[in-house]
Amino acid sequence: MAKRIQFARTGGPEVLEYIDYTPAEPGPKEVRVRNRAIGLNFIDTYYRSGLYPAPALPSGLGTEGAGEVDAVGSEVSGVKVGDRVAYATGPLGSYSELHVLPAANLVKLPDSISFETAAAVMLKGLTVQYLLRQTYNAQPGQTVLWHAAAGGVGLIACQWAKALGVKLIGTVGSAAKAELAKAHGAWETIDYSHENVVERVLALTDGKKVPVVYDSVGKDTWPISLDCAAQRGLIVSFGNASGAVDGVNLGILAQKGSLFVTRPTLFGYANTPERLQAMAEDLFGMLTSGKIKVEINQRFALADAAKAQTELAARRTTGSTILLP
The residues pairing with 235 across neighbouring beta strands, listed in sequence order, are 213, 261
Q: How far apart are CA 255 and CA 251, in angstroms?
A: 6
- pLDDT tens for each residue of 105-143: 999 999 999 999 999 999 999 999 999 999 999 999 999
Residue 318 binned pLDDT confidence (cut-offs 50, 70, 90):
confident
Two domains, one topology: 2-121+270-324 and 140-263:
no
CB 136 within 8 A of CB 161: no
- pLDDT tens for each residue of 60-101: 999 999 999 999 999 999 899 999 999 998 899 999 999 999
140-263 belongs to which homologous superfamily?
NAD(P)-binding Rossmann-like Domain (3.40.50.720)
Examine the pLDDT at 28 and tell me if it is beyond 90: yes
Question: Domain segments of the chain: what residues?
Answer: 2-121+270-324, 140-263
**Average pLDDT, rounded, for the chain:** 95
pLDDT in the model for residue 317: 84
Mean pLDDT of 19-37: 97
CB 153 within 8 A of CB 216: yes
Entry pTM: 0.89
User: How far does CA 16 lie from the centroid of its chain?
Assistant: 21
pLDDT in the model for residue 244: 79
Q: How far apart are CA 161 and CA 300, in angstroms?
A: 29
CB 60 within 8 A of CB 107: no
Give the CB-side neighbour count of residue 75, counting CA atoms within 13 A.
7
Mean pLDDT of 29-33: 98
Element (H, E) at 160: helix 152-164
Q: How far apart are CA 226 and CA 222, in angstroms?
A: 6
CB 185 within 8 A of CB 154: no
82: alpha, beta or left, given left = phi > 0 and alpha = psi -120 to 50? left
- What does DSSP assign to residue 28? T
CB 290 within 8 A of CB 25: no
Examine the pLDDT at 248 and tell me if it is beyond 90: no
User: How far does CA 98 lie from the centroid of its chain?
Assistant: 22
Mean pLDDT of 243-256: 89
Helix-strand-coil split of the chain, %, nearest 5 = 35, 25, 40
3-class secondary structure, 209: coil
- Cα separation of the two ends of the chain: 14
Residue 254 binned pLDDT confidence (cut-offs 50, 70, 90):
very high
Nearest to 127 by CA among 168, 95, 155: 155
pLDDT in the model for residue 196: 97
2-121+270-324 belongs to which homologous superfamily?
Medium-chain alcohol dehydrogenases, catalytic domain (3.90.180.10)
